[in-house]
A and B are shown apart, each in its own frame.
Chain A
Amino acid sequence: MSNESNELTNQTTTGVPELASLPAVPTSLFAIPDDQKPLALLADFGTVIEVMSAAEKLRDADFSVWDVHAPLPIHGINHSMGLRPTILPWITLGHGLVGCAFGLILVWWMNATSVSFVPTELQGYPFLVSGKPIFSLPANVPVIFETTILFAAIGTLLGLLGLNKQPMLFNPLNKSQLLRRATMDRFVVVVYAEDPKFQLEDCMAFLQKLAPDQIELVLEPR
């Protein structure tokens, strides 16, 4: 193992401590209580360059359920992680189109119709303004524009929350001390146990080859 890892260490960016000098993984990590199971393995890096090269290796090793946590936006991390483009623009577009149609129907119903088969509160109220036609598109465009923007903005916000599985009130990862540092000064790679390629020992070995400063196993109740 040491030969192989030395090779890899030589390839990684300068500034990473030699693997031999890293603290050995405590064997107690593998002593998982019976009522617990692994949730994720966390590897912790000190710089953007290191975490990006680690992400590239994870991507090339075909890991699929994993993530990178960083205290700052990293431009290009999507390429390093091999992320597919988000579908969020389509959600925005769909909501925008719905908002556009809603606005059009709204102004038409309220300004240009008057039917008796609905309650008075819901009836339209045709009102002649400065001799313009009852239903005239130029006057309605601002309303349609605003509902389009409103729906698109709300749709984007909800889509963003939904795609990120928010709000999530509790996440076992929150217990990790390492991940807390990811909101301050560390870059943390998280490989989840649900990943089909996840085998605790293999994955641990793989992460070690990436020369992180620390590795942590997070457990969750079985």
Chain B
Amino acid sequence: MTRSQLKNESVDAVWFRPPKTLTTSVLVAGIIGLLLVVLGYWTSNEGWRRLQLGYLVAFAYVLSLSLGSLFFVLIQHLMRAGWSVAIRRPAEIFGFNIICVAVLAIPIGWFVWQGELYPWAKYGDQVESASEHGVSFARHVSIDELAKGSKHPSDTVHGSGAKGHEAGHGHDLYIHQKVDELTQSKANWLNRPGFLLRMVLYFAIWFGLVGFYWRQSQAQDRSVQGIAQTLSMERWAGPALIVFAVTLTLASFDWLMSLDPHWYSTIFGVYFFAGCTVGALALNLLVLQWMGKDSPLTKNVSIEHRRDLGRLLFAFVFFWGYIAFSQYLLLWYANVPETTRWFVIRGASTATGYANSWGWLLVALLFGNFILPFLGLMSRHVKSSPRAVRFWTLWLLVMHYLDLYWLVMPELGPSFTIGPIEIGCWITVFSIWLMSAVGLATQISLIPIGDPRLDESLRLVDAY
């Protein structure tokens, strides 16, 4: 059988006509979200700061869904996968929707330009010398001095030996929010023009990636055989993934990790990526489940596709837990004040005077984003049941939001806060992103009819 014979001529393009209920409900949700933001802004003391942080969470959420979908497309081409061809289009649409995310990034850039949101972005050269706060850094104390019995400076600040320090340490825990020498020392990377320039660069690169796969795939639909496009998409999948990994890592460093400029974790990019993939797979699976009910996709996308996607989701749920724990374990073991503080602020400590109510969110994530969905998605029967799949994908989409929330919001202070501002930001931004995705979805056939492997995908049968 030659490759041209593989091409299935009998499948027609499937055009998405968004039902009125969908567009109205997304629109209404967006307006409700906006009202919630306004309401929360007027009733909260820290409204402006909360709005900025809440917006960052919402932005990171839609960004992660787009990036995760792009990753799904790339990995399918890299692996020359046949099974996923029929369900690749939604992921291509969500990935291409990164153009909407780029527009949503403008407020972030504006916050930074105003010298807000990130501690390092502050204007003025009022560098607060660390010693003014009774803090000096380890590099000021030589090993010889330490050997002679000098006290290690960090002992008085964050260390476990801080006796009688409980009352005042709250101030010290948030010291990274002041512009101090340590933050200044990273100014070569963390500065306003550099941040904005990199933001433009990341989005330019992502435009290039999603644009290439979108255009090739669309051209394939119109082509006779489509082999040239498939080969070209496969050829570029490898380099594209490398570029994707580097930009995603650096972007997560810039936008999420630098909220605490003192902190560093080399696995952070992978952590964000794991969240991206869980969120995107859950969304794609939910969309397929929803579309499968009464749409032309029904006859093309079978339960086999959804079950296989569910298996990928199950794997990445575990991957998220694995990476999250790896990050925690290393920082916990090393117990370096600079790096443990990030976890202490986020509620990971149970020591007297260090525990805070963000810990409940951390426990909720441990169970809600890892243990429960891991056990819940394990069974084949769950992955075959539409109701169970709908439940778990929605659950994971909410948990993914809380995951990002946990990364960002504890910068506010030591008590767990969630309110109309944050939820409103989330709903509004997600609605805008969804509206844009719906618009894009009407521009392209929901089945890549030109892909030579479409027939293979439609004939997908479970191996066991």
Contacts and interface: CB of A to CB of B under 8 A. Distances in A.
Interface of A: 73, 75-76, 78-79, 85-86, 89, 93, 130-132, 138-139, 141-142
Interface of B: 160, 325, 328-329, 332-333, 335, 378-380, 461-464
A220 B102 CA distance: 74
Main secondary structure of the interface of B (DSSP, over half): loop
A85 B384 CA distance: 13
B462 A76 contact: yes
B458 to A, nearest CB: 13
Contacts, number: 30
Nearest to A92: B378
A141 B378 contact: no
Given A130-B335, A142-B329, 18 more contacts: A75-B461, A75-B462, A76-B461, A78-B462, A78-B464, A85-B380, A89-B379, A89-B380, A130-B333, A131-B160, A132-B333, A138-B325, A138-B328, A138-B329, A138-B333, A139-B333, A141-B325, A141-B329
A176 to B, nearest CB: 27
A75 B325 CA distance: 37
Contacts of B332: 138
B307 to A, nearest CB: 13
Most chain B CB within 10 A, of A73, A75, A89, A141, is at: A75
Contacts of B325: 138, 141
A207 to B, nearest CB: 25
Contacts of B379: 89
10 contacts: A73-B463, A76-B461, A79-B461, A85-B380, A86-B464, A138-B325, A139-B329, A139-B333, A141-B329, A142-B329
Most chain A CB within 10 A, of B160, B333, B335, B380, is at: B333
A73 B379 CA distance: 23
Contacts of A73: 463
A73 B462 CA distance: 12
A34 B379 CA distance: 51
A75 B462 CA distance: 6
A89 B325 CA distance: 26
A63 to B, nearest CB: 21
Contacts of B328: 138
A156 to B, nearest CB: 13
Given A75-B461, A86-B464, A131-B160, A93 B335 contact: no
A93 B374 CA distance: 12
Contacts of B160: 131
A142 B325 CA distance: 10
Nearest to A85: B380
A75 B329 contact: no
A142 B322 CA distance: 10
Contact of A75 (B333, B335, B378, B463): B463
A85 B333 CA distance: 44
